[in-house]
Amino acid sequence: MSRSCDQLPPELYRELIALGTQILQSSDTKAILKKIVQAFAQHSRFERIGVSLYAAPVSPDQSTPPTIAEYITVGLSPEQERLLRQRSAAGKILSDKQILEAGQPIGTALYVSAQRLPQLREYAVAQAHASASWGPHDMLYWLLRSGDQIFGRIALSQPRDGRLPTPSELEPLAFLVNMATLAVANLYRMRALHDQHQKLIEQARRDALTGVYNRRALDEMLTQLMDAGTPFTLVFIDIDDFFEVNDRFGHLVGDRVIQDLAQFLGQLIRKTDSLFRYGGDEFIILMPQTTPDQAERVLMRLQQDLHKLSERWANELPDLHLSISLGSSSWSPQSPRSLDAVLEEADQFMYRRKRAKGRQRP
């Protein structure tokens, strides 16, 4: 900067501080974009202003254009706005690397001329106030950069007097850019922490061996359905005599059998259903909005499909017959029961079928 911010006129300095404080205190990306655009429209002599935030921070060395998550513009006609959106969707925007390499510094901003970077003629919307010093496709950029991460950019075009700005003219805007960068960088950090926290929560709800939901997730989902009064049906699934797999072939083969069943079931269930590993070789399918009659038809179809899996196991594990038993239990607000009672009923239903199969064997 050519001079410190406290050398600005007191009224302007106070106004900039107030605007910057509002930007820093906001946690809404759209609100931040609007405040930045409003501030630049008020304190610059550019008729066109665009502020873009990236879907994820990018490196200054990244040669591909960033993915724009949100942006806002002023000074464009509806037709120009549509044209700009089409070009952005097609990836016809400059990369930050191009801006950094082709930009001529004016204070902390970067002036990019179409003479130095011809792609601007294809990417930028033509301006009406061209002059000898400012071409019809020239742009002025600020990159919202913190260290080796760039979070977005501010683009200015069509200066009212058709001339290049001076560093001193851009100094108030540079102050706002610094405040906006702090606000946006903080938002991205908070978003990254939130995403990481959500991943940890999701990992805690997943079975480590199969990747399907675990018993903790089952308890949570069932409690939510019961509290909302949503009827559901549970289907218990168990591999008969699974202990023989571990005894004869080892636990690694046993793990592969469990993973195989989980993958097979994941391909069979409906999009509205959820699959859980209940423990050992036991799985549960949760089917919301499913009546006992509908569940019985689902059980018949599952039994037929799972028979194919049993046949495949028989070919891969010689002299070992593995079958799969199913049981179900339903809950509705019309006949409410405890969660333990629902689980117990499905478990007992499955074991009755298991015992019936055992009696049928020669």
In terms of C-beta distances under 8 Å and separation of at least 24 residues, what long-range contacts does 294-299 make, across chains too? 294/233, 295/233, 295/235, 295/328, 295/330, 296/328, 298/233, 298/235, 299/235, 299/326, 299/328
156 SS3 class? strand
Residue 198 included in any domain: no
Q: Among residues 305, 314, 211, 285, which one has the least CA distance to residue 255? A: 211
> Quick one: 171 and 234 in the same domain?
no
The whole domain housing 353 covers 215-360
Taking the chain, what is the end-to-end CA distance rounded to the nearest angstrom?
91
Q: Which residues contact 227 (CB under 8 A, 6 or more apart)?
A: none
In this predicted structure, the answer to whether residue 2 has a pLDDT above a threshold of 60 is no
Residue 350 included in any domain: yes
Weakest-pLDDT range from 65-74, 130-139, 236-245, 341-350:
341-350
User: By percentage, how much of the chain surpasses pLDDT 70?
Assistant: 95
Residue 207 included in any domain: no
pLDDT band at 353 (very low <50, low <70, confident <90, very high): low
> Quick one: 170 and 224 in the same domain?
no
Distance CA 362, CA 357 (A): 10
Over the stretch 250-305, which tens digit does the pLDDT of each residue have?
A: 889 899 999 999 999 999 888 899 999 998 889 999 999 988 888 888 888 888 88
In this predicted structure, the answer to whether residue 10 has a pLDDT above a threshold of 80 is no
Task: State the helix-helix crossing angle for 215-228 and 339-360, rounded to 10 degrees.
Answer: 120
* Helix or strand run (H / E) with residue 51: strand 46-58
Over the stretch 234-254, which tens digit does the pLDDT of each residue have?
A: 998 988 888 888 888 888 989
> Quick one: 31 and 163 in the same domain?
yes
> Quick one: 185 and 224 in the same domain?
no
CATH classification at residue 300: 3.30.70.270
At residue 61, φ and ψ (nearest 5 deg) are: -90, -5
Q: What is the pTM of this model?
A: 0.64
Q: Using CB atoms within 10 A of its CB, is residue 272 exposed (0-12), middle (13-18) or buried (19+)?
A: exposed
DSSP state of 154: E
pLDDT band at 142 (very low <50, low <70, confident <90, very high): very high
Residue whose structure tokens are 């559901």: 232
CATH classification at residue 115: 3.30.450.40
Residue 201 included in any domain: no
> Quick one: 149 and 40 in the same domain?
yes
Residue 44 included in any domain: yes
Residue 359's pLDDT is 47
Residue 102's pLDDT is 95
Q: Is the dihedral of CA 128, 129, 131, 136 positive or negative?
A: negative
In terms of C-beta distances under 8 Å and separation of at least 24 residues, what long-range contacts does 180-184 make, across chains too? 180/23, 180/32, 180/36, 180/144, 180/154, 181/144, 181/145, 181/146, 181/151, 182/24, 182/146, 183/23, 183/24, 183/26, 183/32, 184/29, 184/32, 184/53, 184/144, 184/151, 184/152
User: By percentage, how much of the chain surpasses pLDDT 90?
Assistant: 38
pLDDT band at 354 (very low <50, low <70, confident <90, very high): low
Residue 202 included in any domain: no
* Helix or strand run (H / E) with residue 278: strand 274-279
Q: Give me 236's structure tokens.
A: 């218990």
> Quick one: 157 and 244 in the same domain?
no
Residue 49's pLDDT is 94
Number of domains within the chain = 2
Residue 196 included in any domain: no
E-assigned strand segments in 139-266: 139-146, 149-159, 232-239
In this predicted structure, the answer to whether residue 360 has a pLDDT above a threshold of 60 is no
The pLDDT mean for the chain works out to: 86
Average pLDDT over residues 110-118: 94
Q: Give me 278's structure tokens.
A: 């209940």
Cα–Cα distances in angstroms (integers) from residue 1 to residues 6, 39, 109, 179, 212, in the given order: 12, 19, 11, 15, 56
Residue 356 included in any domain: yes
